């Protein structure tokens, strides 16, 4: 169940903390006091989108933190499967920090994506508001209700169906691509053959274009390079008084020094090393000059091959790696066309087998849904009668449509609320108040089916009053005896049934407006709040007596119907 809600710096809420109990928790308050903000904050923590600037005043960040306590071992196991850790004590803490341009969501201290949080929240809580009620007008939502009702039987089939649909679509697309006539095949084969031969006519290896460009660059600069290399060579060995000649003269002079003085031998050895170094340099320069000899025929070959490679890159590139990849693609495609008829027959057989499996699963799922729809219709009818639909007829109709990942069923909820009037789609005939009661009946049935521990109802009283309001309150009391139920209401009949009654107020001064939440513990506090709901701005003694009587009747109803009585505080 939802144990605690902590909201800070969101809209009118500076900081609010509410501890909920098991049973029927009712929230009331003046219009604009912040009831919707409170429920909106809970939905934000559970992964809802942030709309507009929800931060209070100029605060830098807001926070919503929810504490759940889970008793069901099955639910704990499901949470573990979703990667929720630290579940030893059965507590789950979901928090969302909201900043101007981003938000951060954590579950038991670990950062999670909003999609992950929504999936986790689906196991913990079910929130029903007016927007969801309007979803009853959409066939896809009605289909989801049926699938939720029969999920134990349909979950495995739905998963297999989704996988089978994906394979069926892929094979259908592949088979469609293979539907070429002979002229198209011949035309494509001719083009591929031409392109393959065009690429093969210019042999290359990856990186060859860079090597050729470097060689080409050297050819175009060969003359300048040769002039400078020749100049260096002449200075070293060919000109009068060249470096080699001068070193030779110096060597002879130092020979005489070495013959006369022992220390001169070191000098002679150094100049001999210098002479060897210069001779080696001369040899390297000579080889370098030879390599620079301009060969017109070789230059032309390099230029032509480089032009051929550039044409290939322009058509199949932009790089030689791309040219090679496109070559391989064309070779593979040509091979496919050579064996197209065999491939088409092979894919056709796979497609037929996939189609058979896909439609077989559609049939299996549809049979599950039809059986579940009959059972669900009966339970919804019973629930509607308990909500003042006295002569109601209700039926879930399945129509066959184009198959998809969810099968081929279209679900339509049909209803008649008056004797002798034929049933029509809920989407076209139900009023807002009727939709709210229909949704309440559905939620009641589903809550028993999926074991949801916490239910939240916002605007469940839209469009109802009088005896209907009383019956809705009795229904909520029954739900509250089996599930933790949190309900925002404007109706005193519903508020009187509360096991725990919270009052939301808006306090204002010259500087700011804040939302406060109070648990009404004393009977006098509850009477005052019920009186406000009954009598509006002016509360008379008669209104207070009516409120007291309403509380007494609510207590009597819960006692008479053996609903578990809670202790407040």
Residue-level pLDDT, tens digit, the chain, 569 residues: 999 999 999 988 889 999 999 999 999 988 777 788 888 899 999 998 887 778 888 788 999 999 999 988 988 999 999 999 999 899 999 999 999 888 999 999 999 999 999 999 988 998 887 777 788 888 898 999 999 899 889 989 999 999 999 999 999 998 888 887 778 888 988 999 999 999 999 999 999 999 999 888 877 777 677 778 778 878 877 776 778 878 888 888 888 888 888 887 888 888 888 888 888 888 887 888 777 666 778 888 888 999 999 999 999 989 999 999 999 999 998 988 888 888 888 999 999 999 999 999 999 999 999 999 999 999 999 999 988 888 899 999 999 999 999 999 999 999 998 888 999 999 888 887 788 888 888 888 887 776 678 999 887 787 788 888 899 898 899 888 888 999 999 999 999 999 999 999 888 776 777 888 999 999 999 999 999 998 866 788 999 999 999 999 999 999 998 775 444 43
Whole-number Å distance between alpha carbons of 222 and 566: 101
pLDDT, residue 341, reads 83
Q: What does the DSSP assignment read for 124-181?
A: HEEEE-HHHHHGGGSHHHHHHHHHHHTHHHHHHHHHHHHHHHHHHHHHHHHHHHT---
Backbone dihedral angles phi then psi of residue 501, each to the nearest 5 degrees: -115, 120
Contact 103, 47 (CB under 8 A): no
Of 310, 303, 284, 290, the closest CA to residue 219 belongs to: 303
Q: Is 26 helix (H, G, I), strand (E, B) or coil?
A: strand
For the sheet with 424-425, list strands across it.
393-404, 407-416, 424-425
pLDDT, residue 568, reads 44
Report CA Rg, the chain.
Answer: 43
Q: Is 562 helix (H, G, I), strand (E, B) or coil?
A: coil
pLDDT, residue 510, reads 65
pLDDT, residue 569, reads 34
pLDDT, residue 51, reads 77
Question: Domains in the chain, please, with CATH?
Answer: 2-129+448-522 (3.40.50.300), 150-360 (no CATH)
Q: Render the burial of 320-336: b for 16+ CB within 10 Å, e for the rest.
A: beebbebbeebeeebee
Distances (CA, A) of 471 to 428, 475, 491, 554: 25, 6, 12, 11
pLDDT, residue 382, reads 92
pLDDT, residue 233, reads 76
Whole-number Å distance between alpha carbons of 269 and 548: 124
Q: Which residue has the tokens 């219009």?
A: 31
Of 490, 483, 559, the closest CA to residue 529 belongs to: 490
pLDDT, residue 567, reads 43
pLDDT, residue 450, reads 66
Peptide linkage before 281 cis (omega within 30 of 0): no
């Amino acid at each position: 169940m939802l144990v605690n809600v902590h909201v800070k710096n969101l809209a009118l809420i500076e900081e609010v903390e509410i501890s909920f109990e098991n049973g029927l928790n009712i929230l009331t308050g003046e219009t604009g006091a912040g009831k919707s903000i409170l429920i909106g904050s809970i939905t934000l923590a559970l992964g809802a989108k942030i709309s507009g600037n929800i931060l209070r005043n100029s605060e830098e960040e807001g926070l919503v933190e929810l504490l759940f306590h889970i008793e069901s071992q099955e639910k704990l196991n499901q949470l573990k499967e979703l990667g929720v850790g630290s579940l030893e004590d059965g507590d789950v803490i979901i928090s969302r920090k909201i900043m101007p341009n981003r938000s951060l969501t954590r579950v038991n201290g670990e950062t999670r994506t909003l999609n992950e949080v929504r999936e986790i929240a689906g196991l913990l809580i079910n929130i029903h508001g007016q927007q969801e009620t309007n979803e009853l007008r959409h066939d896809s939502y009605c289909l989801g209700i049926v699938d939720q009702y029969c999920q134990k039987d349909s979950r495995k089939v739905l998963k297999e169906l989704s996988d089978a649909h994906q394979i069926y679509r892929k094979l259908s697309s592949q088979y469609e691509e293979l539907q070429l006539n002979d002229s198209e095949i011949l035309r494509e084969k001719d083009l591929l053959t031409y392109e393959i031969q065009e690429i093969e006519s210019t042999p290359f290896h990856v990186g060859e274009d860079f090597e050729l460009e470097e060689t080409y660059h050297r050819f175009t600069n060969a003359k300048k390079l040769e002039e400078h290399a020749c100049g260096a060579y002449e200075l070293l060995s060919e000109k009068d008084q060249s470096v080699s000649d001068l070193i030779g003269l110096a060597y002879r002079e130092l020979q005489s020094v070495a013959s006369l003085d022992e220390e001169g031998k070191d000098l002679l050895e150094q100049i001999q090393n210098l002479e060897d170094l210069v001779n080696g340099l001369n040899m390297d320069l000579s080889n370098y000059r030879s390599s620079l000899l301009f060969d017109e025929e070789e230059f032309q070959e390099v230029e032509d091959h480089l032009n051929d490679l550039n044409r290939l890159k322009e058509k199949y590139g932009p790089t030689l790696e791309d040219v090679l990849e496109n070559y391989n693609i064309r070779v593979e495609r040509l091979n496919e066309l050579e064996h197209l008829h065999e491939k088409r027959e092979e894919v056709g057989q796979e497609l037929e087998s996939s189609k058979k499996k896909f439609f077989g699963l559609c049939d299996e799922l549809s049979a599950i849904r039809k059986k579940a729809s009959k059972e669900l219709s009966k339970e919804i009818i019973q629930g509607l009668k308990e909500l003042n639909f006295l002569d109601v007829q209700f039926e879930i109709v399945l129509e066959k449509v184009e198959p998809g990942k969810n099968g081929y069923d279209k679900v339509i909820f049909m209803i008649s609320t008056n004797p002798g009037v034929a049933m029509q789609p809920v989407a076209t005939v139900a009023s807002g108040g009727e939709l709210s009661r229909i949704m309440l009946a559905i939620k009641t049935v589903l809550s028993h089916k999926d074991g949801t521990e916490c239910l939240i109802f916002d605007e469940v009283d839209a469009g109802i009053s009088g005896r209907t309001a009383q019956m809705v309150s009795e229904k909520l009391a029954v739900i509250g005896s089996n599930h933790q139920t949190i309900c925002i209401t404007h109706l005193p009949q519903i508020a009187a049934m509360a096991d725990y009654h919270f009052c939301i107020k808006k306090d204002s001064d010259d500087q700011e407006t804040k939302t406060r939440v109070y648990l009404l513990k004393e009977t006098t506090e509850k009477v005052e709040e019920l009186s406000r709901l009954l009598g509006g701005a002016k509360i008379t003694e008669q209104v207070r007596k009516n409120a007291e009587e309403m509380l007494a009747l609510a207590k009597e109803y819960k006692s008479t119907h053996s609903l578990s009585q809670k202790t407040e505080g």
